[in-house]
Amino acid sequence: MRIVNPTFGIAPQDEGSATAGPVDWLNDPMVLFSNNKPNARELLEGVRSRLASIRRIDNIDHIAKGSASQPAPPEMINDVVRKYRIALLALGD
Protein backbone atom coordinates (compact mmCIF):
# COMPACT_ATOMS: atom_id res chain seq x y z
CA MET A 1 0.00 0.00 0.00
CA ARG A 2 1.01 3.60 -0.43
CA ILE A 3 1.22 5.72 2.69
CA VAL A 4 2.33 9.27 3.39
CA ASN A 5 5.61 9.28 5.27
CA PRO A 6 4.92 10.75 8.74
CA THR A 7 8.59 11.63 9.18
CA PHE A 8 8.89 13.60 5.96
CA GLY A 9 10.31 17.08 6.11
CA ILE A 10 12.32 19.41 3.95
CA ALA A 11 15.95 19.76 4.93
CA PRO A 12 17.44 23.25 5.21
CA GLN A 13 19.44 24.59 2.33
CA ASP A 14 23.13 23.88 2.67
CA GLU A 15 24.52 26.95 4.39
CA GLY A 16 28.09 26.05 3.48
CA SER A 17 30.81 24.95 5.81
CA ALA A 18 33.90 26.43 7.35
CA THR A 19 37.13 24.56 7.78
CA ALA A 20 39.11 25.23 10.90
CA GLY A 21 42.87 25.11 10.85
CA PRO A 22 44.77 22.45 12.76
CA VAL A 23 44.40 22.55 16.52
CA ASP A 24 47.36 22.50 18.90
CA TRP A 25 45.85 20.42 21.69
CA LEU A 26 48.75 21.18 24.05
CA ASN A 27 48.77 24.94 23.79
CA ASP A 28 45.67 26.42 22.15
CA PRO A 29 43.22 28.32 24.38
CA MET A 30 40.35 26.14 25.52
CA VAL A 31 36.97 26.79 27.06
CA LEU A 32 35.06 24.38 29.26
CA PHE A 33 31.45 25.12 28.44
CA SER A 34 28.83 24.07 30.99
CA ASN A 35 25.06 23.82 30.61
CA ASN A 36 24.90 25.37 34.11
CA LYS A 37 23.91 22.29 36.02
CA PRO A 38 26.03 21.50 39.07
CA ASN A 39 27.31 18.18 37.76
CA ALA A 40 28.39 19.69 34.46
CA ARG A 41 30.74 21.98 36.35
CA GLU A 42 31.92 18.99 38.38
CA LEU A 43 32.64 17.02 35.22
CA LEU A 44 34.49 19.86 33.52
CA GLU A 45 36.59 20.55 36.61
CA GLY A 46 37.59 16.91 36.57
CA VAL A 47 38.55 17.17 32.91
CA ARG A 48 40.61 20.27 33.63
CA SER A 49 42.49 18.48 36.41
CA ARG A 50 43.30 15.58 34.13
CA LEU A 51 44.41 17.89 31.35
CA ALA A 52 46.95 19.46 33.70
CA SER A 53 49.13 16.39 33.32
CA ILE A 54 49.37 16.67 29.56
CA ARG A 55 49.05 20.36 28.62
CA ARG A 56 49.20 23.90 29.91
CA ILE A 57 46.03 24.96 31.71
CA ASP A 58 46.59 28.65 32.36
CA ASN A 59 44.64 29.35 29.15
CA ILE A 60 41.70 27.11 29.96
CA ASP A 61 38.58 29.02 31.01
CA HIS A 62 35.25 27.89 32.33
CA ILE A 63 31.94 29.44 31.26
CA ALA A 64 28.32 28.44 31.73
CA LYS A 65 25.05 29.21 30.00
CA GLY A 66 22.76 31.47 31.98
CA SER A 67 20.14 28.75 32.27
CA ALA A 68 20.25 25.05 31.66
CA SER A 69 16.79 25.19 30.13
CA GLN A 70 17.47 27.92 27.59
CA PRO A 71 19.84 27.98 24.62
CA ALA A 72 23.12 29.82 24.94
CA PRO A 73 22.71 33.34 23.54
CA PRO A 74 24.35 33.92 20.14
CA GLU A 75 26.72 36.52 21.57
CA MET A 76 28.04 33.93 24.01
CA ILE A 77 28.63 31.44 21.19
CA ASN A 78 30.31 34.12 19.09
CA ASP A 79 32.52 35.08 22.01
CA VAL A 80 33.63 31.46 22.41
CA VAL A 81 34.42 31.22 18.71
CA ARG A 82 36.43 34.45 18.84
CA LYS A 83 38.48 33.66 21.95
CA TYR A 84 39.16 29.94 21.86
CA ARG A 85 40.34 27.22 19.53
CA ILE A 86 38.89 24.36 21.54
CA ALA A 87 35.58 24.07 23.36
CA LEU A 88 34.61 21.12 25.52
CA LEU A 89 30.92 20.93 26.33
CA ALA A 90 29.35 19.16 29.27
CA LEU A 91 25.72 18.32 29.77
CA GLY A 92 25.44 17.37 33.41
CA ASP A 93 22.45 16.45 35.50
* Total residue length of the chain: 93
8 part of the interface to other proteins, by CB under 8 A? yes
- Which of the residues 51 through 90 are near other proteins (CB under 8 A)? 66-67, 69-71
20 part of the interface to other proteins, by CB under 8 A? no
d(CA 4, CA 33): 42
Interacting span for other proteins (CB under 8 A) from 6-14, 26-34, 45-53, 77-85: 6-14
9 part of the interface to other proteins, by CB under 8 A? yes
| Angle in degrees, CA 67, 62, 30, rounded to 5 | 125
17 part of the interface to other proteins, by CB under 8 A? no
Residue 92 DSSP class = -
CA atoms within 13 A on the CB side of 91: 4
Applying CB under 8 A, the residues found at the interface with other proteins are 1-12, 36, 38, 66-67, 69-71, 93
